[in-house]
Amino acid sequence: MSGVVARFGKSADVKHIDRDLAKIHPVMRGAVCEVVLMCEAECLNFGMFEGFRSPQRQKHIYLQGRVQSRPGQIVTQHQAWHSYHQFGLAVDFALVVDGEFAFETPENYCQWIRLREIGEMYGLEGIEGEAGHLQYAGLELAQLRKGSYPGGGDPGWWENLRHALDSYPLSVPPKAPASRNA
Ligand SMILES: [Zn+2]
What is the CA(5)–ligand 1 centre distance, in A?
25
> How do residues 138-173 score in pLDDT, each as one tens digit?
999 999 999 999 999 999 999 999 999 999 998 755
Give the pLDDT of residue 167. 94
Percentage of the chain lying above the pLDDT 70 cut: 87
Give the pLDDT of residue 136. 98
Angle at 1 between CA 55 and CA 158, to 5 degrees: 40
Residues 93 and 134 sit within 8 Å (Cβ to Cβ): yes
What is the CA(73)–ligand 1 centre distance, in A?
16
- CA proximity to 91, closest of 149, 133, 40: 133
What is the CA(53)–ligand 1 centre distance, in A?
9
Give the pLDDT of residue 170. 86
Q: To the nearest whole number, what is the mean pLDDT of the chain? A: 90
> How do residues 86-145 score in pLDDT, each as one tens digit?
999 999 999 999 999 999 999 999 999 999 999 999 999 999 989 999 999 999 999 999
Give the pLDDT of residue 93. 98
Mean pLDDT on 20-45: 98
What is the CA(92)–ligand 1 centre distance, in A?
5
pLDDT confidence bin for 82, thresholds 50/70/90 = very high
Cβ of 4: how many Cβ atoms within 10 Å? 12
pLDDT at residue 2 tops 50: no
SS3 per residue for the chain: CCHHHHHHHHHHCCCCCCCCHHHCCHHHHHHHHHHHHHHHHCCCCEEEEECCCCHHHHHHHHHCCCCCCCCCCCCCCCCCCCCHHHHCCEEEEEEEECCEEECCCCCCHHHHHHHHHHHHHCCEEEECCEEEEEEECCCCHHHHHCCCCCCCCCHHHHHHHHHHHHHCCCCCCCCCCCCCCC
Residues 6+ apart with CB under 8 A from 111: 44, 46, 95
Give the pLDDT of residue 171. 72
- CA proximity to 77, closest of 93, 91, 63: 63
What is the CA(21)–ligand 1 centre distance, in A?
15
Cβ of 50: how many Cβ atoms within 10 Å? 19
Label the pairing between strands 124-127 and 100-102. unpaired
- The verdict on pTM exceeding 0.85 is yes
Give the pLDDT of residue 20. 97
What is the CA(43)–ligand 1 centre distance, in A?
23
What is the CA(2)–ligand 1 centre distance, in A?
30
